[in-house]
Homo-oligomer: A and B are copies of this chain.
Amino acid sequence: MRYFLLSFFLGVFTLPTPLAAETGDDAWLRYAPVDVAMRGRYDRLPAYVAALGDSVVIKSAQAELIRGVRGMLGRTLRAERDLPRGSAIVLGTFAGVQAARLAIRLPTGLREDGYWLKTITLNGFPCLLITAPNDRGVLYGVFALSRRIGLGEAVSQLDEQQAPYAPIRWVNEWNNLDGTIERGYAGPSLFFEKDDVVEDLSRARDYARLLASVGINGCVVNNVNANPRVIRAEFLPQLARLAAAFRPWGVRLGVSIDLGSPKIIGGLDTFDPLDPRVANWWKEKFDEIYRVIPDLGGVVVKADSEGRLGPSTYGRTHADAANVLARALRPHGGLIFYRAFVYDHHLDWRNLKNDRARAAYDNFHSLDGQFDDNAVVQIKNGPIDFQVREPASPLFGGLEKTNQAIELQITQEYTGQQRHLCFLVPMWKAVLDIDMHAQGAGTPVKALVAGKTFRRPVGGFVAVSNVGRDPTWLGHHLAMANLYGFGGLAWNPDLSARRIGEEWTRLTFGHDLRVVETIANILLQSWPTYEKYTGPLGAGTLTDILGSHYGPGIESSEENGWGQWHRADHDGIGMDRTVATGTGYIGQYRPPVAGLYESRANCPDELLLFMHHVLYTYVLHSGKTVIQHIYDSHYEGAEQAERFVGQWRSLRGRIDEPRYRQVLARLEYQAGHAQVWRDAVCNWFLRKSGIHDAKGRVGHFPNRLEAESAELEGYQIEEVKPWEAASGGKAVECLSSAPPCVASFRYEGKPGWRDVSVQYFDQNNGASRFKLFVAGQLVDEWVADDALPSRRMGADSSTRRKTKGLALRPGDEIRIEGFPDAGESAPIDYLEIRPTARGVPGVSLGERIPRQ
């Protein structure tokens, strides 16, 4: 697995590249034809591919190489089982190479899943050997070779050894047996449907292939909120089908289980982990499972968390619970992943000493050393829950004699749900690189979780992926950079985010230099941008934490037991987590880290509100007050989101049209929704603090005409809750029995070409229609049929339609007709009118041209 870039190749890649319409199905494994200018470089590629040994993984490797070379070079390699009399690519494990008596000195010390690409001479013919300690390594070697060709790199004189940073490189899929996916944003499950495993597993196989190509070797298919049925005897043959779909790609199946299973499905009257009957039940259950799936990778357990059963029922520890499973799994080589995401979600919010962030450390630190060697504590990157910015969980530095894995989230639960672009690799790296000082300096999170610091037998990286049946896998073509990037970091966390972003872009969109640079830049700016217009200074994603976790909902985190408090009031904001005056959370870090956070003066700005409660007038390192930072960052973020649209548009004609359009539509939506975020957050803080924006923007919208101030026929004015979710706190709804309803505005600006944006609410319970008229002339019409995550008018459903290039003159009537549908009442928030840019393309995606 190599991730690097030869910049001196850039020049030749700017020739026109093929622009076949693409769905995204093949993600970065498109095997697009290599540019003409580069193709000669591979003329001497051997014509044979010999596979030594016949494991299903080696067979996949051989077929994959044939597929890749056919796609990229238009040639069909000859599949051989023995060494041919000719130049060949030879695939085999070390054992296979030895059995074939090849005169090769194999490397020593290459770890499992690592590989060696080596140009050699066999029987007088130049050959390319791809070998590895195990067959999965050979498969990874094949993907590495294909990637080299895909990146236009030479393959003629190779001697390259690669091995993964950590043995655990897993994904978790929160799929329910009914086919839904908890926090999944790309359609239904690949694995389950109507409480069974799906008939057609071709998409599951394709997914395993994608995972293998970035070195991921385990996949837990069902939700951590597990249905106990998944390990019932009658379900096991179905699980076995999934395992068989993954097996050719070296991906081991994992399942989430319910700790209460011995009682719920086992017929016992207890699930007490220390009860010998329970231990025996688990032993027999795993013996039974492994008879059907001999290579099951392991299980994941969420216990005593958010209502799940756990050892606390019997006064037992998490180690007790993990170990009863570990012992049943050990004879089969299985792992138990025990999630550290354990907290009380009925915390008393009135008590300023209470702190959910403390929970993982409080629950697990004292158990260090009590977990068996095949148990792994799976720890979310931050102490809360995948917020846009969190510090590293102190638990990473708090376990020395316990295996650990970091749990990251590819599915963007709190980071825009794949409707907003948020390339998470920089965020993940920020956590992985934090030195926890667990054994003096030099113990970054990545080394701890990989087991390097304390020489643990296993450890590594887990990510919640939640791909779905959408052809794009994650719902946004660019979101796939996160899946690719997770694989890259799990293999080598020292890779830079830019390198990963550029490599992924080349494989996904080709080598056009403008495409590569533009997309990589957009990717790298996307997380900081999202952070700016959502949750500032470590206060968390200021979203509706009680529902969708999507749009702004500033107060939803307060005055309830979930503990995602930011404690904003009239005077200030932030959680005091200091040892001196706060919850004491900071004391969970080792002293050098705790010292940094404890001091308000030293604490980095981006985590200030996570660690401290400060006044709005507190001055940051940046020299700005907290309140002005909130205003400025939200305006900057929304402007940056708008710029992404223009940057993406500059790629028109350089990317195949279907993917160009899908991404453009998402970025245009994001630009609009970033303004919803900006306005909600800024207006809320303005009202709460009473402190005005030094730049005079917040609360002033000179280009905006509120629907509640329009002349209305049929439309009626409604309060939107929370108030910050709508401009002016109000919107209009068409509840009339005689639609359409009409909102009529009067344009009083200067005459000229204008773009008119209609901010409306697109709920998920109907498909309202809208018509836009200027001076009686129909100029646009559209249907509100997006699938935004709300049935209500609010920040989740607020969206916009921009109609460009309208000639307006003072006194013009701008009329909107709304046609409700199925409970969606064609609601409108406001109109925004801005000058049309000169000489700029006007017709954009989704702006259908009515045929008059």
Contacts and interface: CB of A to CB of B under 8 A. Distances in A.
Given A39-B841, A839-B39, A849 B74 contact: no
Interface stretch (A254-262, A335-343, A726-734, A773-781): A773-781
B657 A656 contact: yes
Interface stretch (A14-22, A318-326, A385-393, A709-717): A14-22
A843 B71 contact: yes
Interface stretch (A90-98, A588-596, A804-812): A804-812
Interface string A60-93: 0001001100110111111100000010000000
B78 A807 contact: yes
B849 A653 contact: no
Contact of A71 (B652, B804, B840, B849): B849
Nearest to A850: B67
A852 B75 contact: no
A47 B807 CA distance: 6
Contacts of A654: 16
A317 interface: no
A423 interface: no
Interface string A363-393: 0000000000000000000000000000000
Contacts of A266: none
Contacts of A521: none
Nearest to A69: B805
Contact of A777 (B43, B79, B840): B79
A47 B753 contact: yes
A82 to B, nearest CB: 13
A119 interface: no
Given A66-B852, A805-B70, A753 B75 contact: yes
Interface residues of A, number: 55
A74 B841 contact: yes
A36 interface: yes
Contacts of A657: 19-21, 656-657
A620 to B, nearest CB: 41
Contacts of A71: 843, 849
Given A777-B78, A805-B74, A841-B74, A67 B851 contact: yes
B47 A839 contact: no
A846 interface: no
B774 A849 contact: no
B840 A76 contact: no
A604 interface: no
Contacts of A19: 19, 652-653, 656-657
A838 B74 CA distance: 10
Interface in A1-54: 16-21, 33, 36, 39-40, 43, 47-48
B76 A805 contact: yes
Nearest to A837: B74
Interface in A800-852: 803-807, 809, 836, 838-843, 849, 851-852
Given A19-B653, A76-B777, 13 more contacts: A16-B654, A17-B653, A20-B657, A20-B661, A39-B841, A66-B852, A67-B849, A70-B849, A73-B842, A74-B805, A75-B804, A77-B807, A86-B751
13 contacts: A19-B656, A21-B21, A33-B842, A63-B851, A67-B852, A70-B849, A74-B836, A74-B842, A75-B836, A76-B807, A78-B775, A86-B751, A656-B657
List the 8 shortest-distance A-B pairs measured between CB atoms, nearest first: A74-B842, A47-B807, A75-B805, A63-B852, A16-B653, A40-B839, A39-B839, A21-B657
